[in-house]
Amino acid sequence: MKKTIALLSLLASAQAFSHVPDLKNYPIQAVYADLTLLKKANIPVLYADTNTNIGYSVLTGPMLQKLSELSHQHGRCGNFEALSEIPNDINSVKKDLEILNKLQTRTYNYANIKVAQNPKIADALQELKSDNIKQTVTWLSAYPTRYNRAPNPNIHVVDFSEKLKLLTQNSSYPITVDLIAHKNTPQKSIRVSIKGKTKPEQHVIFGGHLDSISGWGGTGRAPGADDNASGSASLLEALRVVLTQEQPERTLEFFWYAGEESGLLGSAEIAESYKLEKKNVIAVLQLDMTLFPGDGEFKITSITDFTSPWLRDYMKALNATYLNIEILDDKCGYGCSDHASWNRRGFPTLFPTEAKFNSMFQYIHTDKDVISSVMNFEHSLIFSKIALAMALDLGNSEQREPLF
Ligand code: BES
Ligand code: ZN
């Protein structure tokens, strides 16, 4: 079933701008939505999955309006996903929700995953520098905005890709830096692809969104230091050190996505194309918000919805071997970042973030999302360590999520 997130994007913007658009005249629309919200809005649910708490409904304009308003009151996101057409067979709905169910249900405890200590990886981790992250966040947050609907939405994208070209140009193994154009936004995503030596068809993916948002209509100053210059910078620092190492056995890809703040636009198109091309994806790591230690130093959170139980346990094994920090578990409660684009399409994802949902930095999507004394670049460095350890361990391993 072909889906679009155009409406999701509209609704997501509704919450992001702290106002709700007029949806009353919107044409009838099929959606997957939060079951609790649907019930609260008295909207008839045509299929309910109580496990994932997702319901399928067909909404009229006024119903959309109601749901959007309610979701606006209850959280930070649209909390629902629009389908591009009304499915003529309820079985396709069941199938979609079954996939989600399988992906989200923890049927196994993978506590037995072991990551053997590799001195080369331990040494590489020492090469990561928080000052580099600080430099990148300072640079990115100085653009007036990185919003995907800004008049010139690619200025920072081109500058960032030029930096990546310089960084990768002297490599002794095949690396490409591409700008990826999208259908649903004029903003481009960036991909750095490092070809695997012996298993090039197997992909280990790292990503974060480079765009930012703030203010009414998104036209305000949007420094987005924490959300998400920080994740973008943590990734760049990990890549810098990956490039000092030998060619990996598996292909490593680094993405800086477009238009996340307008409804996961860039990552949705990319994940869709990887699905259509049946690409073999071992893991997708998302970095979004790494700079604010909301639960204290050396404490981070692993997001447990729209992520893979195997990868979450794998990250804990990596942590036990190389980092030894405290990893808390929490949910977003909705597809809150680009990992959801991949997970929705069947790929195993992982999303470590700065703090538990309620302790995250409060001023995202405003002009106050800037570098200040509450931010901590050593905190961001933890995420570079996770990305680097994963690149060097999983990128050179036979391990993968067991297929059932
Ligand atoms: N960085 C946030 C996601 C986030 C916020 C994660 C708080 C954990 C805690 C992301 O950039 C974002 O703003 N996402 C949107 C949803 C998206 C579908 C537009 C959101 O949370 O409203
Ligand atoms: Zn955001």
pTM, 2 dp: 0.81
Q: Report CA(249)–ligand 1 centroid distance (Å).
A: 33
Res. 194: pLDDT tops 60: yes
- Report which protein residue has its CA nearest ligand 1's atom 6: 336
Strands (E), 144-186: 175-180
| Ligand 1 neighbour 330 (Cβ under 6 A) | no
Work out the pLDDT band at 53, boundaries 50, 70, 90: confident
The predicted pLDDT at position 23 comes to 65
- Report which protein residue has its CA nearest ligand 1's atom 16: 336
Q: Report CA(370)–ligand 2 centroid distance (Å).
A: 13
Terminal alpha carbon distance of the chain: 24
Res. 264: pLDDT tops 80: yes
Pocket test for ligand 1, best of 76, 301, 360 (most atoms within 8 A of CB): 76
| More confident position, 70 or 326 | 326
| Phi-psi sector, 232: left (phi>0), alpha (psi -120 to 50), beta | alpha
Res. 401: pLDDT tops 70: yes
- Report which protein residue has its CA nearest ligand 1's atom 5: 336
The predicted pLDDT at position 73 comes to 66
Pocket test for ligand 1, best of 34, 214, 336 (most atoms within 8 A of CB): 336
Record the tokens describing residue 312, joined without a space. Answer: 């979450």
| More confident position, 3 or 228 | 228
Separation CA 106–CA 236 (nearest Å):
32
Q: Average pLDDT of 363-392?
A: 98
Q: Report CA(258)–ligand 1 centroid distance (Å).
A: 14
Q: Average pLDDT of 84-110?
A: 77
| Ligand 1 neighbour 366 (Cβ under 6 A) | no
Record the tokens describing residue 103, joined without a space. Answer: 């992906």
Res. 387: pLDDT tops 90: yes
| Ligand 1 neighbour 15 (Cβ under 6 A) | yes
Closest ligand 1 atom to Cα of 335: 18
Q: Report CA(262)–ligand 2 centroid distance (Å).
A: 9
| Ligand 1 neighbour 263 (Cβ under 6 A) | yes
The predicted pLDDT at position 67 comes to 82
| Ligand 1 neighbour 354 (Cβ under 6 A) | no
Q: Report CA(252)–ligand 1 centroid distance (Å).
A: 25
Q: 19-33, 101-115, 206-220, 316-330 — which one is most confidently predicted on average?
A: 316-330
Res. 283: pLDDT tops 60: yes
| Ligand 1 neighbour 336 (Cβ under 6 A) | yes
- Report which protein residue has its CA nearest ligand 1's atom 10: 337
Res. 77: pLDDT tops 60: no
Counting residues of the chain whose pLDDT is more than 90, the rounded percentage is 71
